[in-house]
Amino acid sequence: MSAASPNSLFGMGNPLLDISAVVDKDFLDKYTLKPNDQILAEDKHKALFEELVKKFKVEYHAGGATQNSIKIAQWMIQDPHNVGTFFGCIGKDKFGEILKQKAKEAHINAQYYEQEEEPTGTCAACITGDNRSLVANLAAANCYKKDKHLDLEENWELVEKAKVYYIAGFFLTVSLESILKVAKHASENNKLFCLNLSAPFICQFFKDNLMQVMPYVDVLFGNETEAAAFAKEQDFETKDIKEIAKKAQALPKVNTKRQRIVVLTQGKDDTVMALSDKIETFPVLKIDPKDIVDTNGAGDAFVGGFLSELVQEKALDQCVKAAHYAANVIIRRAGCTFPDKPDFN
Question: Which of 19-23, 42-46, 234-238 reaches the highest mean pLDDT?
Answer: 234-238
Question: Is 90 exceeded by the pLDDT of residue 297?
Answer: no
In a domain, 39, yes or no: no
Nearest to 230 by CA among 213, 215, 210: 210
Nearest to 64 by CA among 24, 12, 28: 12
User: Percentage of the chain with pLDDT > 70?
Assistant: 100
Question: Is 90 exceeded by the pLDDT of residue 212?
Answer: yes
| Domain CATH code at residue 246 | 3.40.1190.20
**What confidence tier does 228 reach under pLDDT thresholds 50, 70, 90?**
very high
Q: What is the pLDDT of residue 124?
A: 95
Instruction: Establish whether the linkage from the previous residue to 15 is cis, with ω within 30° of 0.
Output: no
**What confidence tier does 1 reach under pLDDT thresholds 50, 70, 90?**
low
Q: What is the pLDDT of residue 62?
A: 86
Among 166-170, 220-224, 302-306, 328-332, the minimum mean pLDDT is found in: 328-332
Rounded average pLDDT over 79-103: 95
Rounded average pLDDT over 138-153: 98
CA 344 to each of CA 16, 67, 332: distance values in angstroms, whole numbers, following the listed order: 28, 21, 16
In a domain, 193, yes or no: yes
Question: Is 70 exceeded by the pLDDT of residue 217?
Answer: yes
In a domain, 180, yes or no: yes
Question: Is 90 exceeded by the pLDDT of residue 338?
Answer: no
Q: What is the pLDDT of residue 83?
A: 98
Dihedral (Cα; 18, 115, 82, 186), 10-degree rounding: 100
Which residue range forms the structural domain that includes residue 253?
9-15+63-120+139-331
Angle between helices 241-249 and 224-233 (to 10 degrees): 60
Rounded average pLDDT over 83-87: 98
Domain count for the chain: 1
Residues 208, 300, 317, 340: which is the catalytic one? 300
In a domain, 55, yes or no: no
Evaluate whether 213 touches 179 at the Cβ level (below 8 Å).
yes
Q: What is the pLDDT of residue 295?
A: 78
Backbone region of residue 235 per phi and psi (left: phi > 0; alpha: psi in -120 to 50; beta: other values):
left
Q: What is the pLDDT of residue 339?
A: 83
Q: What is the mean pLDDT of the chain?
A: 95
In a domain, 45, yes or no: no
CA 22 to each of CA 138, 220, 231, 243, 300: distance values in angstroms, whole numbers, following the listed order: 22, 31, 32, 36, 20
In a domain, 35, yes or no: no
In a domain, 56, yes or no: no
Q: What is the pLDDT of residue 215?
A: 98
pLDDT in tens, 147-164: 999 999 999 999 999 999
pLDDT in tens, 242-296: 999 999 999 999 999 999 999 999 999 999 999 998 999 999 999 998 898 877 7
Burial of 340 (0-12, 13-18, 19+ CB in 10 A): exposed
Evaluate whether 196 touches 307 at the Cβ level (below 8 Å).
no
Angle between helices 65-77 and 298-310 (to 10 degrees): 50
Looking at this protein, which amino acid is placed at residue 205?
F
In a domain, 25, yes or no: no
Q: Give the 3-state DSSP-derived string for the chain, with helices as H, strands as E and coil as C.
A: CCCCCCCCEEEECCCEEEEEEECCHHHHHHCCCCCCEEEECCHHHHHHHHHHHHHCCCEEEEECHHHHHHHHHHHHHCCCCCCEEEEEEEECCHHHHHHHHHHHHCCCEEEEEEECCCCCCEEEEEEECCEEEEEEECHHHHHCCHHHHHCCHHHHHHHHHCCEEEEEHHHHHCCHHHHHHHHHHHHHCCCEEEEECCCHHHHHHCHHHHHHHHHHCCEEEEEHHHHHHHHHHCCCCCCCHHHHHHHHHCCCCCCCCCCCEEEEEECCEEEEEECCCCEEEECCCCCCHHHCCCCCCHHHHHHHHHHHHHCCCCCHHHHHHHHHHHHHHHCCCCCCCCCCCCCCC
Question: Is 90 exceeded by the pLDDT of residue 336?
Answer: no
Active site residue 24: no
